[in-house]
Every structure is written in structure tokens, then in C-alpha cells.
Amino acid sequence: MLAACRCKDVDRPPVWLMRQAGRYLPEYQELKGQKGFWTLVRTPELASEITLQPVRRFAVDAAIVFCDILVVPDAMGIEVKYVPGPVLERQVRTMQDVRELTGVDAPVQYDYLARTLEMVKAQLDGTALIGFAGAPLTLAAYMIEGKVSPDLTELKTLAYNHPEVLDALLSKLVREVTQLLLLQVRAGADLVQLFDTWGGRLTPDDYERWALPAARQVIENVRSEGVPVILYVKGAAGKVMQMATSGADALSVDAGVRLSTMRKRLGPKQALQGNLEPVRLLGPEQGVREGVARIIGETRGRGHIVNLGHGVLPPTPVENVEAFVDAVHRSAP
Ligand code: CP3
């Protein structure tokens, strides 16, 4: 996994899946029972167990710590509920709202996360451990919109009317996301992924004005720890060359991007992660295997971390996740 992030030689490309621990897994459902999502996240015994579930079942090459990107607004004083989509108790719209956000005392408020990572790390044998955070723009989107809101109307309205408010929010978030990632690296994460899920919804100019500098700043801040950084953007197609200037070691792209084209444009030094269409795992197993062969063919398995273009969908049959991982394990570059 680490070699692939650095575009070094590998026997075969590594594989893991975004949202590999979650609702499609019967053992997750069983553990979840009646417990709330936050209880799972904040109980290291449970969170570490959930993190390890897909590693045991599929022998994926990386574990991603069981947590959520919205721990940050919650720790800053805006309560987040999952109903089941996330809903934030209030929205950030003014400079006063930004001022009222609390600075997070990371070692105290994220103590559960550090303990989860330590517990997972102690049980892994060679499997890479991934820490993660939402990128500032994506967290700002949730804090401004208050919920999943793909058009980002409120965020864009704020950007065009009161850019100073969005700048102030993003600079607070750069600090908070940096702390969160550093805490995870110090607790044992071997690499980190920054999820800029909503960055792809901005125009290229706005991406460059708002999302990219904030992500780049975070990446620069964690660079001294020496761990690889993966930058994910959903709907990345028109922005991959901009993402490439973020300083990330690997760019994680959705299924709308052709990896062979990307490889040509990026050159051999920046790794790619992705990008099978997640809905493909709702189809026949043969299609999953063909899809895997196709994406590995596009990179020839070099500098490539095989993954989906976005998270595993809850109705995904477990057998298709198994086939996805198995197809990569059998591939020779
Ligand atoms: O397995 C893993 O990938 C690790 C855990 C993980 C979760 N969320 C657990 C989770 C990770 C990496 C995330 C990231 C995350 N969370 C993102 C970025 C990636 C992406 O999907 O674009 C975003 C935007 C969120 C915000 C969020 N959290 C949403 C939109 C939802 C609800 C809808 C959904 O797709 O599940 C959550 C809740 C959440 N986070 C669940 C899980 C397993 C479902 C909770 C449940 O069991 O009901």
C-alpha cells in the first residue's frame, strides 16, 4: 500500500474500499444492533472491532479507522445527528457564527479515536492503517448547508456575497483538520486520506479559489510526519490536474475519470486511487471482475491503489466485495 502510494514497484496493486466497514456488512449490522452511530464511533472497543471486520473477511490491504468526517463540526460545538443522513443542529452563515465555533482540544476530544487507532494497530499484521478527515471545503459545506446538499447553494451564496466569512471558516477548519490528522498519525495511522467529497461541485475557478488552497495547506501541515496523503474528490473529472497541485501523494477519483488518460497527464510520479463504479457491485460477479481487470489494465497496476469511485453502497452483496478484492489479489501487473 505504501509502495503503491509512492509509485514504487509492487507485485500487484493494493486494494481496499471506501466505506468498507459499514451497513452492507452483516457483522456490522449485528454489532450495531440498537446502538447509535456515535456510540459505535466513540467506543474504542466497538470502533476497532468494526475497523477490523472487513480486514478479516476480505483480506483487504488497508484498514480505514471507523469514524466519520463530521466529528469535526461536532467537536467545534455544532451537534450532528444521523437520521440516517447527517443533520447539523445549526448552520454557519455569518462572521459571528464563525467566531462562536470552539477550537478543538484534540487530545482530549478525540481521545476515543487515538485509542481506537492504537487498538487496531496492535491487531494488524502488515495491513496498512488509514486515518482520515474531511477536507475543509467539504466540512464547510456541511456546516453551512446543515445537511447533505449536493448543489451547495448556501455555500456558493456565501462565497459570492460574503467571501470573508467563508475564508474565515475555511482557515479555522484548516487548523482543525490538521490537528485531527496529526493526532491519527501519532496514534498509528500509516497514511491519511482527505475526503473532499463536495469539491467536485464547484466551478474550476471556485475549486481553485476555495477548496484547493485549504486542502493544500492541510497537506503541507502534515507533510513533515512523512506519511503518504491521498486526496479524494467526488466528481473530480474536470479538476484532476488542479488536484495534482495539492501536494497529495495519491489522487482518489470517481468512476467518471479514465485512469489511463489521467496517468498520461499526471506522469509517473503521482499515484491514482479508484475507481470502479460502486453500482457495478450491485450487478453480476462477472461484471465486477471485468471492471477490476479494466481499471488495472488502464494503469498496468503501477502507482495504483484499487478502490471504488465512491463508498460501498448499503445494498451491495458481500460476495461482490469478495470478488472485487479477489480479482485484484489475482491480478499480476
Ligand atoms: O469504512 C470506512 O470507510 C470508514 C468509515 C467512514 C464513515 N464515514 C462511516 C459512516 C468514512 C471514511 C466516512 C467518511 C464520510 N462521512 C464522508 C466522506 C466520504 C463520502 O462518502 O463521500 C462523508 C461525506 C460522510 C458524512 C456522512 N456520514 C454521511 C453522508 C452519512 C450518512 C449516509 C451514508 O452514506 O451512510 C454518514 C454516516 C455514516 N458514516 C455511516 C457510516 C458507516 C452510516 C451510519 C449507520 O450505520 O447508520
pLDDT recorded at residue 34: 86
Share of the chain above pLDDT 70, in %: 100
Q: Which of 19, 24, 25, 233 to mutate to test the pocket of ligand 1 (most atoms within 8 A of CB)?
A: 19
Q: What is the pLDDT of residues 186-213, one digit of tens each?
A: 999 999 999 999 999 999 999 999 999 9
Q: Which of 69, 81, 139 to mutate to test the pocket of ligand 1 (most atoms within 8 A of CB)?
A: 69
Q: Evaluate if residue 155 carries a pLDDT over 80.
A: yes
Q: Evaluate if residue 311 carries a pLDDT over 60.
A: yes
CA of 19 to the centre of ligand 1 (A): 7
Whole-model pTM: value is 0.97
Atom 27 (ligand 1) nearest CA: 86
Q: What is the pLDDT of residues 266-277, one digit of tens each?
A: 999 999 999 999
Angle at 276 between CA 274 and CA 282, to 5 degrees: 145
pLDDT recorded at residue 5: 98
Q: 250 and 5 in contact (C-beta within 8 Å)?
A: yes
CA of 265 to the centre of ligand 1 (A): 31
* Ligand 1 lining (C-beta closer than 6 Å): 18-23, 32, 37, 64, 66-70, 82, 84-86, 132, 148, 195, 197, 234, 311
Q: Which atom of ligand 1 is nearest to the CA of 23?
A: 47
Torsional sign, CA 79, 114, 272, 60: negative
Q: Which of 18, 24, 68, 308 to mutate to test the pocket of ligand 1 (most atoms within 8 A of CB)?
A: 68
Residue 333 binned pLDDT confidence (cut-offs 50, 70, 90) = low
Alpha helices, H only, the chain:
2-5, 26-32, 37-42, 44-58, 71-75, 95-99, 106-109, 111-123, 136-145, 153-161, 163-186, 204-206, 212-223, 240-243, 259-266, 285-299, 318-329
Q: What is the pLDDT of residues 245-255, one digit of tens each?
A: 999 999 999 99
CA of 287 to the centre of ligand 1 (A): 26
Residue 84 binned pLDDT confidence (cut-offs 50, 70, 90) = confident
Mean model confidence pLDDT for the chain: 97
For residue 57, give every residue at least 6 positions away whose Cβ sits within 8 Å of its Cβ, in sequence order, or none: 25, 27, 318, 322
Average pLDDT over residues 156-180: 98
CA distance 227 to 192: 7
DSSP states of 232-287: EETT-GGGHHHHGGG--SEEEE-TTS-HHHHHHHH-TTSEEEEEE-GGGGGS-HHH
pLDDT recorded at residue 136: 98
Q: What is the pLDDT of residues 8-62, one digit of tens each?
A: 999 999 999 999 999 999 999 999 988 999 999 999 999 999 999 999 999 999 9
